[in-house]
Amino acid sequence: MTSHGPILLIEDNPDDVLLTMRAFGKNRISNEVVVANDGEQALHLLLPSEGEAVHPALVLLDIKLPKIDGLEVLRKVRADDRTRSLPIVVLTTSNEERDIVDSYRLGANSFVRKPVVFDEFVKAVNVLGIYWLLVNEPAPVPAGS
């Protein structure tokens, strides 16, 4: 299963990165995966002040991140014409209602709680991959970005 462009995984927990990579492999998701370990790194990849930006097919965004939290990353990405229409799925362990409300208010396309059990996580990644990489028709990349 593949779509054009990489998947940007914004996740600070190395165990969750490994788990996500294993789930991609089990689901035959062959997109390149670019990992940002904090919100600042994610913004440098998506909104560089110079150089070429990463244009992901899908962004998987954790909320609890060091340096710049996931909600602030979401706010900045949605405020910029170059990244406004990127598909962003908040993928987090948070079960706080406020995080769900804030994520959607700031423009998340979806909010998914990470299942604790690996087999359930693999199933969730499969559904995300099928929908966002195969079924969904992405917005064109804006000219000049």
Residue 127 lies in a domain: yes
- 60: closest CA among 88, 95, 34? 88
Residue 74 lies in a domain: yes
The string over 81-110, giving b where at least 16 C-beta atoms fall within 10 Å of a residue's C-beta and e elsewhere, is ebbebbbbbbbbebeeeebbebbeebebbe
Please compute the mean of the pLDDT values over residues 67-79 and round it to a whole number.
96
- In this structure, what CATH number is given to the domain that contains residue 40? 3.40.50.2300
Residue 90 lies in a domain: yes
pLDDT of amino acid 117: 78
Residue 140 lies in a domain: no
Domain assignment of residue 72, given as a range? 7-135
Residue 114 lies in a domain: yes
- Per-residue pLDDT reduced to its tens digit, 19-55: 899 888 888 888 899 999 999 999 999 999 888 888 8
pLDDT of amino acid 84: 92
Residue 99 lies in a domain: yes
Tokens (6 digits) for 84: 């406004």
pLDDT band at 66 (very low <50, low <70, confident <90, very high): very high
Burial class (CB in 10 A: 0-12, 13-18, 19+), 74: buried
Residue 141 lies in a domain: no
Domain count, the chain: 1
- Our measurement of the distance from residue 45's CA atom to the centroid of its chain's CA atoms, rounded to an integer in Å, reads 12
Maximum distance among all alpha carbons in the chain?
Answer: 42
pLDDT band at 5 (very low <50, low <70, confident <90, very high): confident
Please compute the mean of the pLDDT values over residues 127-140 and round it to a whole number.
77
- Determine what percent of the chain is predicted with pLDDT higher than 70: 94
Q: Tell me which of 117 and 96 has the higher pLDDT.
A: 96
Residue 88 lies in a domain: yes
